[in-house]
Each structure stands twice: as structure tokens, then as C-alpha cells.
Amino acid sequence: MTMEEKAENAIREQVLKRIRPSLEEERKLKMVVDELLEKAEIAARKMCIGINRATLVGSAARGTWISGTHDLDIFISFPEETSREELEKSGLLIARELAKEAEAFEERYAEHPYLNMRYMGFDVDIVPCFAVCSASEIKSAVDRTPFHNIFVKEHINDLQEEVLLLKQFMKGTGVYGSELRTRGFSGYLTELLIIHYGSFRDVVYSACEWKPGMVIDLLGHGCVDHKEPLVVVDPTDPRRNVAAALSVDRFARFIEACRLYVDTPSLAFFFPEPLKPLSDREVLAILGERRSSFLAIVFGTPDIVEDVLYPQLDKMEMNIRALLGQHGFTVLNSGSWAGEESVVLVEMLSSTLPLVKRHQGPPVWIKSHAEIFRSRYEKADETFSLYIENGNYIADIKRKFPAAKELLEERLMTCSLGKQLTEAVKKGYQVLENEELCSIKYESFRVFLRKWKKA
Amino acid sequence: MTMEEKAENAIREQVLKRIRPSLEEERKLKMVVDELLEKAEIAARKMCIGINRATLVGSAARGTWISGTHDLDIFISFPEETSREELEKSGLLIARELAKEAEAFEERYAEHPYLNMRYMGFDVDIVPCFAVCSASEIKSAVDRTPFHNIFVKEHINDLQEEVLLLKQFMKGTGVYGSELRTRGFSGYLTELLIIHYGSFRDVVYSACEWKPGMVIDLLGHGCVDHKEPLVVVDPTDPRRNVAAALSVDRFARFIEACRLYVDTPSLAFFFPEPLKPLSDREVLAILGERRSSFLAIVFGTPDIVEDVLYPQLDKMEMNIRALLGQHGFTVLNSGSWAGEESVVLVEMLSSTLPLVKRHQGPPVWIKSHAEIFRSRYEKADETFSLYIENGNYIADIKRKFPAAKELLEERLMTCSLGKQLTEAVKKGYQVLENEELCSIKYESFRVFLRKWKKA
């Protein structure tokens, strides 16, 4: 064994020691799961609801859960011929029966309703689904999950610890999680990568060479072209890309993290130091160093799930950039943060522009256009000067919004912001400039500022 | 006759009254010319120099000169077989003989040497040329002129006054003169336009519809494709475009002037009010209104002819714009002026930029480039932050020149400036910013400022 391999193995053992569930944890999980599955079947029978079975799915079912995470996914599968209304109604009836002994619960809505509850310290989702024959014939997105469960259980062999290592590595490097906030790697994707490459080490070493267009097709049955940077064909559905949610930036960041790890392995990749919030003094220091202009649009965060909130924040950020760009402001960077309030933060070359603005007109020899342009600008109050350059009319005219702050204060609502954000912004928003950023005190916002444009 | 025609005729008569040479002027001119031609022939004979003849060419010879202009072009034509050395030597000997009675004279150099003198109040050029058989077989650029003379004299009939009107219209609207400072219409071009269209009025009405690609070929013998906006095939040389020196801006400005004149004829097109120099107060008012940033590069004007100076100033202006652009500054407008000193004036969105600058790197997955970029910027002092955007590395780094003034003070000499301007700038230059412009007191510079980006 080389020195490098020894070092890697030592890290591996230290990581596993922290993330491998203890026997005690496993025993408790098994007990809770058995209890829930039994209760579900009893409830169905009692209410004369015909279900096929109740099953545990997800990482808890596959032995790929990280110590300390207590998420359980219980799927209640109904015969395929059940109507959607029947499934939704009966599914909830059974779920509510289980929730009677929960510490807390609430009904939630994805493609159809499900129930989430806190039960003996576990975070449990009770999800009704159709028992279809194959993943390619699903009636609802969740119907796929049981097939994933079967595939992973059949192929994972004894590679569960490799999955744990890869998940923790991805968590530590900020690329784990397929929800729309992160657009990273899902648990199932992680498992497939381990099954394909055979070990954590082999995934990491292979990923160093990944490029967009990378295709992994375990069963060689892919039948659709995908445009995402990474394509991992679902073994249970040849048309589906398991990595469809992975953004190009998370893809690139993972490649980078793998290269840095191969170069200098360390525990820090798995367990990075948490970032400290920036102090006011540090915020001012950054402004002073960069000497660019920051604008923050601040408003109350609407009460919606993250998978709705974050795409709307992304859209808002893009449309704010576009609005600023249309008015001549050069945006260097942008980002968004959400907590109790939400913030879209924009860094510009400058938040002020001169009053004069070049307005390009038509060539002088396109007579009708040229005459309209000339008569429009010749004597207008807003015109500083009118001249010919390279045969075209140019009018130097007055800029409407020489200050970005005023532009956002007057025109933010003309941006398309998404339904719930539009409502939230309508209730009121503030535009803060440069040192006014210090008035946003939330710790997690200050951590977001510390990360500002750092890989 | 319509009201419009009557008004145009009235203007026409008023203009002609001011620019038509008086009988007295014509008599004096004829006398001086006869005297010069006779002296030239006598001198040649006396020195035993075999010349074909001495002739008057140009507008004075064609009756198309404007009252008050006293320019004479005397061409001494040598047999075609004369050597270039012989022509240059003998040409100057004859010219010097004539210059003996001049108020002042100097020898000048174009393609070959010629003599310019002040003689009885006239500005006289004595130019040696080869008497070739046709304009398409010239040995020197000036050899063409006698053929132009012959063509115009044969075809002008009684349209001399039309030429005078067109010339004065072009002077008044700033498009007359084919020298490199103006890049406008030459006298010969004006004459050809009149011969082609038949009258001043017809030129003006036709030009309203001109577009780039306009070709006028009086003899229908053009045999070369030209890319200039206006092509007027030389009747004396089918390969040559008489309008080759006309810039697209002068072309466009002439079209515009014709349209405005057709719309509202007035004497002001021929005799515009001279522009008053801007006062300091007015300079400051313009700066305050536009709120853009002005930088002036000021240096001593080298002692070179205008046809060398102005192209070099244009080149300098272009290269300064490029230098500023490369360093992130947005140039709105630029121009140059020359008097005792020369000035390149640049108007920018802003003459200062933040210290931070985005530096785009390679995609993360182009491994070798990505690793070089990362190691170059990861821990460099100049790096504010390093991150991934759309799969590419971006480094936010320190800008070398956040102030345009310092950039020009340090890097002006890296621009390619042309031979004589390089020498002039090496002797020293100043960079003035905004209100410092007021320290440039030359009246003609202040007139140039009044015209800043006005058609």
C-alpha cells in the first residue's frame, strides 16, 4: 500500500466512524419501521381499504443512511386500477391513522397529497403510490421510488459504506441534494455511481476526468438523448436521466472537489469548518477592497416550500440582472439568500451612470427612418447632441435612470418575479446600497456574504 | 414657377453675388497667370531645359473658382521619357526662377518635390509632371490633373456657376475638401457631379436618395469594383474612383444636408454663422449636464503637413480608445483637434472603475487549463475570489488601472501612434480630466468643443 493509499484509508476510517449508524441506531430504526408498517396494514384492514402493501423505501431501506439522519419514507402502494381520487383519499386516511401517535404532523402536497410527521424522533413521510408493473409505466412520479429501492437493494451488495463516504463527501463539498435549492446529486444518483464504479475512491478518481456529455448507463438500455451535463440512465426507466436535476455548476464543483481531494486528501472535504458570519467591520472591509457597488433587494419571505421559493428567487435574480443591463448597468455578480426575509444581492461595476447615454439611430441613407429619428431627437429636451458616426445617426440623450437604486425602486415590479414572490414584493421591499447592507443582521445572511463568490 | 422655386432662385442669386468672381478679379488672375506661364517658358529656354509646356490647371483654369480664393496650380510638363531625377531637378530650377519675384516661397514634398509661393497675392503651386498620353498611363499622381482639366473644360459648357453653388454649399455644410483632414468632396468631384446631373439643384435633389453603393459613371467605362460609399468613375481613367477619399460620414452628412435644404432652403447652408468658442462657464456647464468623464491628451503639434498629421491623430484616437476598452473603460465619444498643441479628447461613461475585475477562466472540465488557472489565482494577492459560474472558473481580481488617467499616463506610449506623433508625445504630454479642460484656452479648441458631437 502506498503512502497515499494509507492516508486515504485513514481518512476513510475516520469519516466512517462519524457517519456509520451505530447498532443501537439501527435497532431503533428497525423497531420504528416495523411498528409503522404493521400499523399501516392494520389500519387498512380495519378501514377495508385494499392496499397491496406498505413498504419502507429510501436510504433507510437500503442501508445507505448517515448516522444522525432520521428520515423514513413509508410508501403505501395501491392496486394500479385504483382511481387517483380513491388513492388520495384512502392514502390520507391510513396516514392519519398512523399520525395519531405522532409528536407532530402535517399534510403536504406534491403531485398528490402525503403526510409528514415527527414520530419517535423520526421525520416520516407517508406517501401513497400506485403499484405499477414497471418504472416506465408510472402514473405518478413517486411510483418510481419502489423500483429504485429494488434495484439498489439487488445491486448494492456490501457497498453501503462506499455510498456513505460519497454522500458525506458531497455534503461536505456542497453538491449533495437534488432539491431545487442545491441542484446537486440525489441519494439514488450517489448509489448508482457507487454501483457503477465500485467504490468511493473509484468514483472520485473517475470524476476528475468527467466532461459535460458524460453518460453512465449501467444496463446499456438508454434510448433518449439528454442535454444535461451528466447523464446517468435510470436502470429502472431507460428514458430517464437520474442526474437531470444536476446543474452545470454543481457538476463542475464536484469535478473540482474530486481533483483537489485526489491531490491532497483530507477530512476537511467531508467535514468543512462551518463559516463564521461576517461582522459589520468585515462587510465594510469587503466593500472598501472591491470598490464595486452592491445593491440588495430585501423583502419578507413568502410561506412556500423551498422547491417553489428557490426557483422563483433564481428567476427574480435573473430578471433583476436583465433590468439593470437594459438600463446600462454592468452586473458583475449576483446571488440570493432566503431566511425570515429574502435578499437578492447584486454587485455592479457602478450603481451610478452619467446622465448622457448614446442612443444609436438608423443610417442616414435609410431616408424614412432617418427622418423620423432626426425629427424625434433634433430638438427634444432630452437630447444633448445629435450626430453622424459611421453613417448612422447617434443621439446623445438623457438617461432616465442614472442611479440603479432608483431604477429598482421604480421598476422592480415590471420584472416577472413568479407568483408568490410578486405578492411578497408587493407587500413592500427595500433597496439597500453598499454599507446599508450592514442593516441586514441575520447570521445566515452574513455567512452567505462570507461565501460571496468563493468556490 | 412655384413658390419654392422662387425662394430657391432668390437664395441662388444671393449666394452667387457673394462668390462669383468680379471682372476685376478675373482680369487680375488672367494677368498673373499669363505672366507666370510666359516666365516659365522663358526660364526653361534660358536654362536649355526641354519642357513640353507650362499650363494652368485646377479651378482657376476651368472658371470654377470662388471669389476670394486665390489658388493657382501651374504645371510644368516634361516629355514622358524624362527621368524622374531629371524632372525633379529641372522642375525645381524653373520653379525657383519664378520664385525670384515671389513675396515668399517654400519647397514642398508630395510624391515629388514642388514649389509653393505667394506671388502678387496669389497662392501658387509650381508642379512638375510627365506629359503622358492618357490618364491611365500616369507615372506620378499629379500627371492626371491635366487630363481632368481637359475633360472638365470640354464638358462644363456654361455650368460654372452651378459648380460654384455646389462648392459653396459643401463648404458651408462642412463636406468640401478631399484632404485627409476633411475626407470630403474634391473640386474635381464637384465638377463631375454638376456635369452628370446638370445643375446644383439636380445634384441636391438626387443626393437625397443616395445610398452607399451609389455609382456614377459618366462614360460608362468603369471596370473595377470599389468599396467606397460613393463611386464616381474618373472619365479620364476607368479604374479610378474620384470619390475614393470621401468618408462615409461626409457622404452621410452631405445626404442629410441636401434633405434639410430641400425641406427648408436657406442661405445658412452656404454661409453658416461661425461658431463661438465655449467659455469656461459653458465648458463646465456641459460637464455638469452630461456627467460623463472627459480626458484630454495634450501635446505639442509636430511640424508636419496636415495630410500626415490628421491620419496620425485619427490613428492615435483609435488606439487610445482601444487601450481604454482593453482596460474596461467604456468610451462614449472621441475626437481630436490640432493647433499649436494637439488634443485627443475622449468622453467615457466613467474614468474610474472599481478595484475588482472579473477575469474569465476555462471550463472546470478542461483539466490542464483549469488546474493552471486555479493554481495561478487561488492564493494570489491580486485575487478577491475564485468561483465557478456556468461551469467556468471566474476569478475576481484586482484591476491594475482603476483610473483611466493613470492608465494613459503610464501606458500611452504602448499605443502605436504613428512616427511623428510618437516623437511629439515622447517630448511630453499632459492628461487633463474634466474641469481641467478649461486650462486649454485656444479659441479654435473651444470652437471644437462647441461642435462636440453635433451634426
Put simply, the answer to whether B384 touches A289 (Cβ < 8 Å) is yes
Q: Kindly report the nearest CA distance between residue A135 and chain B, in angstroms.
A: 32
**Which residues in A lie closer than 8 A to residue B255 (C-beta atoms)?**
364-365
DSSP symbol at B66: P
Closest CA to B168 of B245, B271, B310: B271
- Report whether A373 contacts A366 (CB < 8 A): no
Residue of A nearest to B367 (CA): A209
Lowest mean pLDDT among A140-144, A189-193, A246-250, B244-248: A140-144
The 3-class SS string of A396-430 reads: EEECCCCEHHHHHHHHHHHCCCCHHHHHHHHCCCE
- Residue B1, Cβ density class (10 Å: 0-12 exposed, 13-18 middle, ≥19 buried): exposed
pLDDT digits (tens, 9 = 90+) for B145-175: 999 999 999 999 999 999 999 999 999 999 9
Q: What per-residue confidence (pLDDT) applies to B3?
A: 84
Residues 54-113 of B with CB under 8 A from A: none
How far apart CA B45 and CA B53 sit, in angstroms, is 11
**Which residues in B lie closer than 8 A to residue A386 (C-beta atoms)?**
454-455
Closest CA to A218 of A231, A229, A227, A208: A231
Q: Is B147 helix (H, G, I), strand (E, B) or coil?
A: helix
Q: What is the mean pLDDT of residues A101-117?
A: 89
Q: Kindly report the nearest CA distance between residue B29 and chain A, in angstroms.
A: 40
Q: Which helix (H) or strand (E) holds A30?
A: helix A23-46
Put simply, the answer to whether A384 touches B353 (Cβ < 8 Å) is no
How far apart CA B434 and CA B2 sit, in angstroms, is 52
Q: What per-residue confidence (pLDDT) applies to B455?
A: 56
Buried b / exposed e across A162-190, counting CB within 10 Å, b at 16+? bbbbbbbbbbbbbbbbbebebbbbbbbbb
> How is A42-110 classified by DSSP, letter by letter?
HHHHHTT---SEEEEESHHHHT-PPTT--EEEEEEEEETTS-HHHHHHHHHHHHHHHHTT-SEEEEEES
Q: What is the mean pLDDT of residues B379-408?
A: 94
Amino acid at A160: Q
**Which residues in B lie closer than 8 A to residue A396 (C-beta atoms)?**
290, 332-333, 453
Q: What per-residue confidence (pLDDT) applies to B185?
A: 98
CB pairs under 8 A between A and B: 141
Q: What is the mean pLDDT of residues B285-295?
A: 95
Q: What per-residue confidence (pLDDT) applies to B76?
A: 94
Q: What's the start-to-end Cα distance of chain B, in Å?
A: 33
A365 touching B, CB under 8 A? yes
Name which residue leads in pLDDT, B135 or B38. Answer: B38
Of B255, B356, B392, the CB nearest to A364: B255
Closest CA to B277 of B453, B454, B448, B455: B448
Strand pairing category for B214-216 and B230-234: parallel
Angle, to 10 degrees, between the axis of helix A160-172 and the axis of helix A3-19?
Answer: 90
Instruction: List CB contacts of A135: < 8 A, sequence separation 6 or more.
Output: A143, A144, A147, A148, A234, A236, A237, A240
Q: How far is CA B109 from the centre of its chain?
A: 19
Percent of chain B scoring above 90 in pLDDT: 88
Put simply, the answer to whether B256 touches A293 (Cβ < 8 Å) is no
A303 touching B, CB under 8 A? no
State the average pLDDT for chain A: 94
Residue of B nearest to A210 (CA): B365
**Which residues in B lie closer than 8 A to residue A350 (C-beta atoms)?**
350, 353-354
Name which residue leads in pLDDT, A3 or A180. Answer: A180
Q: What are the φ and ψ backbone dihedral angles of B444, each rounded to 5 degrees?
A: -70, -25
**Left (φ > 0), alpha (ψ -120 to 50) or beta: where does B423 sit?**
alpha
Lowest mean pLDDT among A102-111, B90-99, B186-195: A102-111
Edge-first strand listing for the sheet containing A331-338: A331-338, A341-348, A293-300, A430-433
Residue of A nearest to B347 (CA): A356
Q: Is A13 helix (H, G, I), strand (E, B) or coil?
A: helix
A339 touching B, CB under 8 A? no
Q: Kindly report the nearest CA distance between residue B410 and chain A, in angstroms.
A: 22
- Report whether B128 contacts B79 (CB < 8 A): no
pLDDT digits (tens, 9 = 90+) for A15-44: 999 999 999 999 999 999 999 999 999 999
Put simply, the answer to whether A259 touches B371 (Cβ < 8 Å) is yes
Of A248, A292, A354, the CB nearest to B290: A354
Residues 203-262 of A with CB under 8 A from B: 208-212, 229, 248-249, 251-253, 255-256, 259
Residue A203: all three cell numbers together: 468514483
Our CA dihedral for A193, A196, A201, A206, rounded to 10 degrees, sits at -90
Put simply, the answer to whether A367 touches B248 (Cβ < 8 Å) is no
pLDDT digits (tens, 9 = 90+) for A409-436: 999 999 888 899 999 999 999 999 999 9
Q: What per-residue confidence (pLDDT) applies to A455?
A: 56
Percent of chain B scoring above 70 in pLDDT: 100
Question: Domains of chain B (ranges plus CATH)?
Answer: 21-150 (3.30.460.10), 156-269 (1.10.1410.30), 280-352+402-450 (3.30.70.590), 356-398 (3.30.70)
Task: Count each helix (H run) and each strand (E run) in chain A, helices first.
Answer: 15, 15
Closest CA to B170 of B266, B289, B270: B270
**Which residues in A lie closer than 8 A to residue B249 (C-beta atoms)?**
388-391
Report the sign of the C-alpha dihedral through residues B394, B400, B406, B407, in that order: negative
Model confidence at A1, in pLDDT bands (50, 70, 90)?
confident
Q: Kindly report the nearest CA distance between residue A390 and chain B, in angstroms.
A: 6
Model confidence at A323, in pLDDT bands (50, 70, 90)?
very high
How far apart CA A73 and CA A30 sit, in angstroms, is 13
Edge-first strand listing for the sheet containing A53-57: A53-57, A71-79, A122-131, A113-119, A104-109
B378 touching A, CB under 8 A? no
Put simply, the answer to whether A211 touches B355 (Cβ < 8 Å) is no
Put simply, the answer to whether B455 touches A349 (Cβ < 8 Å) is no
**Which residues in A lie closer than 8 A to residue B334 (C-beta atoms)?**
none
Of A291, A353, A452, the CB nearest to B349: A353
Of B253, B289, B387, the CB nearest to A453: B387
pLDDT digits (tens, 9 = 90+) for A237-254: 999 999 999 999 999 999
